[in-house]
Amino acid sequence: MEKIKMTTPLVEMDGDEMTRILWKMIKDELLLPYIDLKTEYYDLGLEYRNETNDQVTLDSAEATKKYGVAVKCATITPNAARMTEYNLKEMWKSPNGTIRAALDGTVFRAPIVVKGIEPCVRNWEKPITLARHAYGDVYKNTEIKVPGAGKAELVFTAEDGTEIRETIHQFTGAGILQGIHNTDKSITSFAKACFNYALDTKQDLWFATKDTISKKYDHNFKDIFQDIYEKEYAEKFTAAGIEYFYTLIDDAVARVMKAKGGFIWACKNYDGDVMSDMVSSAFGSLAMMTSVLVSPDGVYEYEAAHGTVQRHYYKHLKGEETSTNSVATIFAWTGALRKRGELDGIKELITFADKLEKATIQTIEAGKMTKDLALITSLKEVTVLNSENFIKAVRETFDKL
């Protein structure tokens, strides 16, 4: 069979530890035999980031802007222990943080649904995608521990010196204070990324905040979404047969629990942090969660939601067998290849991505899976496979398809 040809390179960001091992296996077994793979390779493994003073991360983000689609392996975010382990010159920043800042994106996370791994919520039939605004609010806050009685004020000083001043509280004793912010620019990017993603995946979009209580702060989010929707997206949504609606966050939570799934739930930064952990664990496993960063000008970066699976890597280094789940990493590749196929009009690439996802799901549904899934599956006949044999089993299913 002739290999599928590509016209534009995919930005390939290699990573660390166990996921770096899976990365190579996936390429060797599932991609290179079928595709004339065209990638621009960036080694984001910690050693090379250290060697290049993290320039490689910045370069990979620039390349993503240039070509439009990237696929990223999980990477180590250095901490004190990693400083010694890798003899680092500096505690380099999180690559994901750097890339997110460069692309100004919103992160969409969706579970991969298979029969035999049932969500805890019985009525969830389709995946729920969480869209998390990744800027500001409590994550960029300023706090004061109030020592005793006194007056707390909120003051804004404009560039021309004029002031806006509001009393927060007249303290009669000790307490606490917190100042948070967001910007119209960031909220606008967030809204556009959500609307574009909804159109792209043909799913309804839900957005919720607490605007009844937060009449200026949260209300501003609601207004910006509504304004952009009416001006730029309402017609496109109608044409696509999908819906955008806004509701209060507590109403959204109640509706999500009763829903069938198959929609995007856009959340403010804190709500998204909390709710994505709830939704992903209720669907089964972090290793079955896809993640894509979408920028407001339509640049896509695909990855798995989990980390480098350090504990398994140390076992692997000792020569012990591992049973690490490669599904989310396989789906990062299929997501990126499908998007490349769509942008370049290469139908074979889209079909390939669809088939490889189908083969992965069918392999698990046939009872062949890694240990993490074997522990939670409702299937009766299960074969637990090691990291490599799972990928080989997917290839066998793929070849049959």
Residues that bind ligand NAP (CB under 6 A): 74-77, 96, 286-287, 303, 306-311, 324-325, 372
| Binding at 218: pick from Mg ion, ligand NAP, none (beta carbon under 5-8 Å per type) | none
| Binding at 77: pick from Mg ion, ligand NAP, none (beta carbon under 5-8 Å per type) | ligand NAP
Task: Provide, rounded to whole angstroms, the least separation between the CB of residue 372 and ligand NAP.
Answer: 4
Tally the residues of the chain. 401
**How many of the chain's residues bind Mg ion (CB under 5 A)?**
2
| Binding at 286: pick from Mg ion, ligand NAP, none (beta carbon under 5-8 Å per type) | ligand NAP
Tell me the sheet residues that pair with 4. 35
Q: Counting beta carbons within 10 angstroms of the beta carbon of residue 253, is it exposed (0 to 12), middle (13 to 18) or buried (19 or more)? A: middle
Helices and strands (H and E) in the chain: how many: 15, 18
The residues near 136 (Cβ < 8 Å, ≥ 6 apart) are 180, 181, 182, 183, 186, 269
Task: Provide, rounded to whole angstroms, the least separation between the CB of residue 283 and Mg ion.
Answer: 15
Task: Provide, rounded to whole angstroms, the least separation between the CB of residue 29 and ligand NAP.
Answer: 16
**In the range 211-240, which residues lie near Mg ion by CB under 5 A?**
none
The residues near 149 (Cβ < 8 Å, ≥ 6 apart) are 171, 172, 173
The answer to whether 192 touches 296, Cβ cutoff 8 Å, is yes
Nearest to 88 by CA among 165, 1, 16: 16
Of the two residues 74 and 194, which places its CB atom closer to ligand NAP in the complex? 74
Task: Provide, rounded to whole angstroms, the least separation between the CB of residue 194 and Mg ion.
Answer: 19
| Three-state secondary structure readout of 322-372 | CCCCCHHHHHHHHHHHHHHHHHHCCHHHHHHHHHHHHHHHHHHHCCEECHH
Of the two residues 57 and 96, which places its CB atom closer to ligand NAP in the complex? 96
Task: Provide, rounded to whole angstroms, the least separation between the CB of residue 306 and Mg ion.
Answer: 13
| Contact flag: residue 273 with Mg ion (CB under 5 A) | yes
Nearest to 107 by CA among 193, 11, 229: 193
Of the two residues 182 and 325, which places its CB atom closer to ligand NAP in the complex? 325
Q: Which stretch binds Mg ion (CB under 5 A): 107-115, 158-166, 181-189, 271-279?
A: 271-279
Q: Which stretch binds Mg ion (CB under 5 A): 67-75, 270-278, 287-295, 351-359?
A: 270-278
Task: Provide, rounded to whole angstroms, the least separation between the CB of residue 303 and ligand NAP.
Answer: 6
Task: Provide, rounded to whole angstroms, the least separation between the CB of residue 311 and ligand NAP.
Answer: 4
The token pair at 56 is 């490689």
| Binding at 306: pick from Mg ion, ligand NAP, none (beta carbon under 5-8 Å per type) | ligand NAP
- Which residue's Cβ lies closest to ligand NAP? 307
251 three-class SS: helix
| Binding at 211: pick from Mg ion, ligand NAP, none (beta carbon under 5-8 Å per type) | none
CA distance 389 to 383: 11
Task: Provide, rounded to whole angstroms, the least separation between the CB of residue 276 and Mg ion.
Answer: 7
**Unique residue bearing structure tokens 């917190």:** 178
| Contact flag: residue 200 with Mg ion (CB under 5 A) | no
**In the range 274-293, which residues lie near Mg ion by CB under 5 A?**
277
Task: Count the neighbouring beta carbons within 10 Å of the beta carbon of residue 318.
Answer: 7
User: Binding residues for Mg ion, per CB under 5 A?
Assistant: 273, 277
